[in-house]
Amino acid sequence: MSAASFRIYIQGYIRRFSAPVLIGACAIVVVDCAELALPLILKNFLDDLEDGVQGRTLNQILLGLCIVVVLQTMCRFLWRYFMVRSSTLEAAHLRREFSKKIFRKPIASLGRSRVGALMGLVTEDVEAVRMFLGPGLVSWIDAFFFLLTIPVLFLWLDWRIALTVLLPMFSIPVIFAKNQKKVFSLSQDVQKRLGEVSEYIRESVSTLRLARTFVAESGFIDRFTKKSALLTESQRNLARVQTSLTPAVEVVVVVSTLLLVCWLPFVGLGVVVAFQRYLQRLVWPLSASVMGFFLFQRGAGSDERLTSFFSSEETESLPLKATTHKPLSPIGLQEPAIEVRHLSFRYTEQSAWVLQDVSFDLMNGEMLGIRAPVGRGKSTLLSLILGFYPVERGMLRVLGKDIQDWDLEELRQRVSSVFQEPYFFRESIAHNLDPTGQGLYADAAEFAQVSELVQARSEEDLSERGALSGGQRQRLAIARALVRAGEVYLWDDPLASVDALTAENVLKSIRLRNQERKVAMLYASHLEAHLKFCDRVIHVA
């Protein structure tokens, strides 16, 4: 049950933030005590006023009032500051953990279609947990104090009336218990649909051009309307329960008040009035506990999702240093640079083999072409060399070390790759080429024959998909890969959209350069015109 694990999480939170939570809780208790003291001071004042006593007593009463006001003012600030501060810090901590986690998860679990769900996790779910740890916990402490003290005051005033008045109150825990499961599953439902709709929006935003090109807008909008209606429906179901609970609690208080009034002829007026005042006081803590209850249920659901996310599989480590890499000393001439033996691969156990029994060696200074028909695994092979998927069958050694023994970050520093369809981050061209901001990309841009573009538009944001042509994007990707001098180059059809003349120039110069520097290069392509620059061409199927 997730409520139980959420309780454990809350305990951990209180332990971690024990000092501020304790100060906050104490401040709440002081505020509440002052709240309870106020009627007593005023009662004294009225009694004195009736007796006609003035002077010193009045000053004492004023002093008492001042103390109450100062205490309330101070402690109201303190509890908010400390309780809410801790919850905000915890939320920031969760978001930071989330950020770390996405860098450690296997690449397969971070596909396009997961973005919406992940965003929901870091936005809505973290917020739900924070809302309980802050306002939720406060309302519970508050409610706890009044629910504990007011009945005692009742008993002290008159035990017979107290029992009558408190009797209906016992139905409140029953109401809560009955609705607990319902609220939990309904909030889960809402969160799930929220995730679906956000993902749909995100996908639609990135496929707007496509939808318009094919005049398929209405189809996308209809699908959205349906999803949106489902979300609203589940939100409405939750709201139905939510909006019934507070009135239900009020009904209980009304019944208690009516029972109290029945005692009027038998006891003094003062007692009844005092009871009535305190009953009114109870309304707030009771509705606060309703609010806390909802925040708890929502938080529990979110905590469950967050926990399962945080405990999900990790395949990579995250170097916590933000500094750029120190240049690694070259490993030296390990021959061969890449050694592949009987390598087979498929994405899942159910799917077909993408690579079957592939074997080859790549020597230093060699440019090895890979020719593969459409739909066969040349991109997969390069992904395996970069350690994106675990090798299950066969052997893959890079720079003299088995792929499984490599620290992936170090491996990728030594291997310089260009993908067929390059991704650029939503930042300037300069920052995409050299994210350190040092702007050390002039040579690489020159080499990739893209320096004119880079010089003219280096500060331009790459947010517009249409702003660069396919050929420009590909050459930019080559420049980006060349900014770091690797020992092995993996290029996946990087010149397919580039015109023949430019492509030839780039290929000629990279070949020359690699031979000089003894750099090994895998060049996957389907274009014979490009493959003819390779020393040797193999088939992968």
Which positions from 164 through 183 interact with another protein, judged by CB under 8 A? none
β-bridge partners, 538: 370
Out of 6, 9, 144, 424, point to the residue binding another protein (CB under 8 A). Answer: 424
- With vertex at residue 117, the alpha carbon angle to CA 114 and CA 121, rounded to the nearest 5 degrees, is 130
Q: Determine the Cα–Cα distance for residues 363 and 519; give it in Å rounded to an integer.
A: 9
Task: Please give the residues from 4 up to 33 whose contact with another protein meets the rule CB under 8 A.
Answer: none
Question: What is the β-pairing status of strands 393-398 and 401-402?
Answer: antiparallel
440 sits near another protein (criterion: CB under 8 A):
no
Select the span of 155-163, 202-210, 335-343, 361-369 touching another protein (CB under 8 A): 202-210
Given the complex with another protein, which of 7 and 202 has the nearer CB atom? 202
Out of 261, 333, 440, 512, point to the residue binding another protein (CB under 8 A). Answer: 261
113 sits near another protein (criterion: CB under 8 A):
yes
Select the span of 1-9, 414-422, 507-515, 533-541 touching another protein (CB under 8 A): 414-422
Out of 5, 11, 40, 103, point to the residue binding another protein (CB under 8 A). Answer: 103
Task: Please give the residues from 210 up to 249 whose contact with another protein meets the rule CB under 8 A.
Answer: 210-221, 223-225, 228-229, 232, 235-236, 239-240, 242-244, 246-247
481 sits near another protein (criterion: CB under 8 A):
yes
Q: What is the identity of the amino acid at 140? A: W
By rule CB under 8 A, what count of residues binds another protein? Answer: 166
Q: Determine the Cα–Cα distance for residues 241 and 297; give it in Å rounded to an integer.
A: 13
Four-CA torsion 268, 274, 276, 277, nearest 10 degrees: 160
187 sits near another protein (criterion: CB under 8 A):
no
Task: Please give the residues from 500 up to 519 whose contact with another protein meets the rule CB under 8 A.
Answer: 500-502
412 sits near another protein (criterion: CB under 8 A):
yes
In what order do the strands lie in the sheet containing 536-539? 415-418, 488-492, 520-525, 367-371, 536-539
Q: Determine the Cα–Cα distance for residues 330 and 399; give it in Å rounded to an integer.
A: 10
β-bridge partners, 475: none
How buried is residue 60: exposed, middle or buried, by Cβ count under 10 Å (0-12/13-18/19+)?
middle
Q: Taking the complex as a whole, how short is the minimal distance between the CB of residue 475 and another protein, in angstroms?
A: 7
Q: Taking the complex as a whole, how short is the minimal distance between the CB of residue 4 and another protein, in angstroms?
A: 28
- Give the E-state strand segments of 352-446 in sequence order: 355-362, 367-371, 393-398, 401-402, 415-418
Q: Taking the complex as a whole, how short is the minimal distance between the CB of residue 21 and another protein, in angstroms?
A: 15
Out of 11, 18, 54, 438, point to the residue binding another protein (CB under 8 A). Answer: 54
392 sits near another protein (criterion: CB under 8 A):
no
